[in-house]
Structure formats: structure tokens, C-alpha cells
Structure 1
Amino acid sequence: MNAAFAWGDFAANLEWAAATALMVMLGTFAVALNLDMHRVVDIAWGMAFAAVAAVTFGLSAGHGDPSRRLLVTVLTVAWGLRLAVHIARRGRGHGEDPRYEAMLAHARGNRNLYALRMIYLLQGALVWLVSLPVQAAQYTSRPLSALAWAGTAVWAVGLFFEAVGDAQLTRFKADPANRGRIMDQGLWRLTRHPNYFGDFCVWWGLFLIACDGGWQAAAVSVGSPLTMSGLLISGSGKRLLEKHMARRPGWDAYAARTSGFFPRPPRQNRT
């Protein structure tokens, strides 16, 4: 069967996806100015992916396999909205995120314009790049096969680690007795970053679904999981968080026995 890829329509979709991500980020920037708090952009991250997936679903009608279009859209929207709701609940009642305070402290000139460039527009560009598998998967006519379901399974593992890890950490922090302690229970015994590992799996899973559509979709979207992996492991994810956590009592022992990213049983202390 011909696994045709609608190159022209996909190229047009890239422009619509960029415009969609930009609109979400500019709208969020307006909200942030009203609240005088830029941490709301973290809520917009998941929402922007959901919006790009939904817009692509509408534009790709008649150009790609309906089952793949629906599958990748539902998975992306489910992931994005769950993340947005979780971050909104987590940040309720809190002030500005220390990460953004530190970033804006180095701003020259207008702080808000600096934030627009370095936070909102940058994140909008990343949404466009990372969402490439979601876009490409919807412009191939090849029917779903085993690889798509394998990708769905990887996505499901990722969502499990993200959602369960976030819920476990939320319950841990809600107990005043745990103030200042290191979370080392549940999934956090297997990896120091179950939520980041979950994100990693989500985007490699969506990439596999795109690969199921043919080499064209794989070729144009491989940068997505590679970029996300770099951000999570070496960029703004694991590296920055561990730099902050290293000041807490008990961190060195926890880090010595617990995997830095990929889950595994904790190492036993040697005596």
C-alpha cells in the first residue's frame, strides 16, 4: 500500500502550528502582565501542545489516515491538559517562580519585553519543534500497524510515570512532617525524576506513532524527541532541578542510591 505523505499540506500546517503556538503564548503573556507573574507560562506549555494537535487534526482532514489522526490528537490533548491542570493546581496561592525571578534579574531594559523574548517566544518555538511528530503523523495515509500501538504503549508508560509521580510528590509535600525532606517513596525510589522520565516516554511514544506512518514522517519529526530528551536530561529539567536540590540534607545519599533518570531498583548501601 502506498504510504503517501502530503508534503504540501504538511508544510502549510507548519505555518498554522507556529501561529497557534504563538497565539497561545501571546495570550498567556497578556495574562501574566495582568497578574504580574510569569509562572503562568508553565500552564500554557501543555495547553499549547493540545492546541497545535487540535488545529492539525482539523487541517489534516482528508490528507491522513483518520485513525492515526485521532489517536495522536487524543494522546497529545490528554497529556497536555493533564499537565496544565496539575501545574495550575500546584502553583495556586504561590508567587513568582524562583527560576523566572532569577532569569529576569539579569534583564537589561524592560523586564517584560525581556520575558517575552526569553520565555514566551522561546517556549512557543519549542512547542512548534517538539510537536512535529504530532503534526507529521496526521499527514500520512498509511493505516495503523503494530508500531503505532507500541508507541501508544510507550506513551502510556510515560503518562503513568508523570501522573503518578506528580500525585505522590503532591501528597508528600502536603504533609508538614516532610518539610525539608527528600522525596524517596513510590516511583521516586526508582528514579529521581519520574515526571521527567514520563515526559521522555510520552514524546518518544508519539514519535513512534509518527514513524508508523512512514519514513517521511519519521525524518521530519526525529528532532522532537531528541530535543525533548536534551531539555529533560541536560537542559532546563534534571540538571537545574538537581542543582537546586543538592543543597538539601540527605540529597547526596538519595542520589547515590537512586537512578538519575531511567528507573531501576535503588542501590543497596554497602557497609
Structure 2
Amino acid sequence: MGALMSTVLVSVATSVVVAALLMTATALVARRQGRVVVVDIAWGLGFVLAALACAVVAVVADAGDALRSGILVALVTVWGLRLAEHVRRRSTGHTDEDPRYEKVLGGTLPDVGLAVAVRKVFAVQGLALAVIALPVSVGMVRDVRWWPVVVAGAVLWVVGLVFEAVGDAQLAAYRARPRDERPQVLDTGLWAWSRHPNYFGDACVWWGLWLAGGLATGWVAGLATLVAPIAMTYFLSEATGARLLEKTMMQRPGYPAYAARTARFFPRPPRSSRP
């Protein structure tokens, strides 16, 4: 039992170290570019690196279930690389700071300085990355107790990835249209059911990974890692995601009416338009 706990702690500590090193490197890139939004690209890559590092720990320690570890690495890698590439394409050609981060920082990076950005963005996201990666870090080095739960987690992951990828594609297609030829807001497809279907999908992905990596290991591991999907859902819905973005979006013509008929986060059929 003691050796098992030691291996779990080593795996968790490995993801912490990966997060710290990555956020340090990202902060240096941000200082050179003069904007912290580059952390969004590092976010997805960080989970991929953490999963791979924890998989190495499992192999070296001869711990965990090889099949489940492979599944976790595959799920995290597909999600993380897709997200990083999507954010990279979206930010190509832009040099301005993301309004969300200006709100968090109280200005731009050159205005507030790197120390403030580290305290308010990079340290927070590094800690969040390590916490949210807990189901993967623990699952890599523990045996599977309930394989049906792993399958259920993989199914939920697929649902989440579809919401996230399709939502992102629909938004990209909307933005690619000339301004004078597109409606004021995107309110079709998944965006008719949720104002942030991509964020909702992201949350589903991590509830799926919690099922596959945390709960499938047993009740103790499931409860110990439950903070991960809860934290991810909170960040996406209430902290740096939907709620913060809405403060800017509500200033745009047509968006308040769209918000009145469309769910903010959890999808549901749109309400009928009101006069």
C-alpha cells in the first residue's frame, strides 16, 4: 500500500513539475510577444505533456494498467493537440491582447508587468492544469476496478469532443463570412442550443476523463480526483470562460436578445423569440 501511494504521489508530482516548467516557458514567450493570450496554446499542450510524463512514470514503476494508460494518453493527446492547433490558427495574424486577459490583468502585459501576469495568469493556470490533470495522473499508475466506467468515460469524452470541435468549426465559418453578409450573432447549429457549446464540450471531455481515469479506479480515487472536472467546469462556466466573455459580448448588438432565448452553458432548446 505504501509503495502504491508513493507511485501515485510521484505521478502527481510529475504533472506539477510539467505544469510549472511549461508555464515558466510560456511566460517568457508572453514577455517577448507582449501578450499573455499565448497561454491558451500552452493550455492544451500542457495536458498532453503531463499525460505522457505520467505514462513514463507508470512504465518505470511497473504500475497501472497498460491498456487504460494507453486510452488516457490517446484521449488527452487528441483533445489537447486539437485545442492547441485550433487556438494557434485562431490567433494567427492577431497581435492584440484577448479582452478576457485584459480584464483579469487590469490592463495589457506591458502595462502591468510580467510579475503581475505570472501571479494572475501563469501561476493560476499552472496550478489549475496540475489539479485538473489529477484523474489522468492517478489513473496512469492505478489498476482498473470497473472497465464499464472506462467505456462510459470514453463515450462522454466523444460527446464532449464533438460539441467542442463542431462548435469551434461553426464559429470559425461564421467569422470567415464578410461582416455585412452575416447575422449579428451566431445562433444556428449548436449555438442555437448553447451560447458556449465549445466550452460545454470541453467540460464533458474532462468529466469523461474523470470517469475513465479517476472513478474507474475505485471510489477512493474517484472522490479524490473529483475536484478536477468540477474545477474545469467552474473555469469554463464561471471564471475565465463563459461568464467573463459574456461581459464583452453583451455590449454587441443583438447579443442580449440572443442571450434571452439561448442557454448560457448547458444546452437546451432555444426559447421562442420575445417581442
TM range (shorter): over 0.9
Instruction: Write the deviation string for residues 97-146 of structure 1: whole angstroms up to 9, x where unpaired.
Output: 22333415298996111112211111111000011011111122126611
Aligned to 1:152: 154
Give the distance between the partners of 1:107 and 1:25, measured in 2 at CA.
15
The alignment status of 1:252 with 2:256, answered yes or no, reads: yes
2:266 maps to which of 247, 262, 266: 262
Aligned to 1:203: 206
Aligned to 1:80: 80
| Aligned sequence identity (%) | 41
Give the distance between the partners of 2:52 and 2:132, measured in 1 at CA.
15
Question: For structure 1, which segment, 41-50 or 226-235, has the greater mean C-alpha deviation from structure 2 after superposition?
Answer: 226-235
Aligned to 2:133: 131
Unaligned runs of 5+ in 1: none
- The answer on whether the counterparts of 2:35 and 2:108 sit within 8 Å (CA) in structure 1 is no
Instruction: Give the superposition deviation at 1:270.
Output: 5.6
Instruction: Write the deviation string for residues 136-183 of structure 1: whole angstroms up to 9, x where unpaired.
Output: 111221266111111101011000010110011001001113568211
Indicate how the Cα distance of structure 1 residues 249 and 63 shifts in structure 2: closer, same or farther if over 3 A, else same. same
Indicate how the Cα distance of structure 1 residues 174 and 11 shifts in structure 2: closer, same or farther if over 3 A, else same. same
Instruction: Give the superposition deviation at 1:45.
Output: 0.5
Aligned to 2:189: 186
Query: 1:40-189 to 2 correspondence within 5 Å?
Result: 40-61=38-59, 62-95=62-95, 96-102=97-103, 103-105=105-107, 111-142=113-144, 145-176=147-178, 177=180, 181-189=184-192
Aligned pairs, number = 269
Instruction: Write the deviation string for residues 3-53 of structure 1: whole angstroms up to 9, x where unpaired.
Output: 999211011122211111111111111222222222111100101111101
Give the distance between the partners of 2:258 and 2:211, measured in 1 at CA.
33
Question: For structure 1, which segment, 233-242 or 108-117, has the greater mean C-alpha deviation from structure 2 after superposition?
Answer: 108-117
Give the distance between the partners of 2:100 and 2:201, measured in 1 at CA.
22
Aligned to 1:242: 246
Indicate how the Cα distance of structure 1 residues 109 and 161 shifts in structure 2: closer, same or farther if over 3 A, else same. closer
Aligned residue identity for 2:137: Q
1:230 maps to which of 231, 234, 242: 234
Question: For structure 1, which segment, 41-50 or 5-14, has the greater mean C-alpha deviation from structure 2 after superposition?
Answer: 5-14
- The answer on whether the counterparts of 1:165 and 1:187 sit within 8 Å (CA) in structure 2 is yes
- The answer on whether the counterparts of 1:162 and 1:194 sit within 8 Å (CA) in structure 2 is yes
Aligned residue identity for 1:73: V
Give the distance between the partners of 2:93 and 2:108, measured in 1 at CA.
26
- The answer on whether the counterparts of 2:31 and 2:109 sit within 8 Å (CA) in structure 1 is no
RMSD: 2.2
SS in 2 for 1:212: helix
Unaligned runs of 5+ in 2: none
SS in 2 for 1:142: coil
Aligned to 1:214: 218
1:28 maps to which of 9, 26, 29: 26
Give the distance between the partners of 1:110 and 1:267, measured in 2 at CA.
42
Q: Give the TM-score, by structure 2 length.
A: 0.91
- The answer on whether the counterparts of 2:164 and 2:198 sit within 8 Å (CA) in structure 1 is yes
Aligned residue identity for 2:132: V
Give the distance between the partners of 1:11 and 1:4, measured in 2 at CA.
11
Give the distance between the partners of 2:271 and 2:182, measured in 1 at CA.
25
Instruction: Give the superposition deviation at 1:193.
Output: 0.7
- The answer on whether the counterparts of 2:34 and 2:109 sit within 8 Å (CA) in structure 1 is no
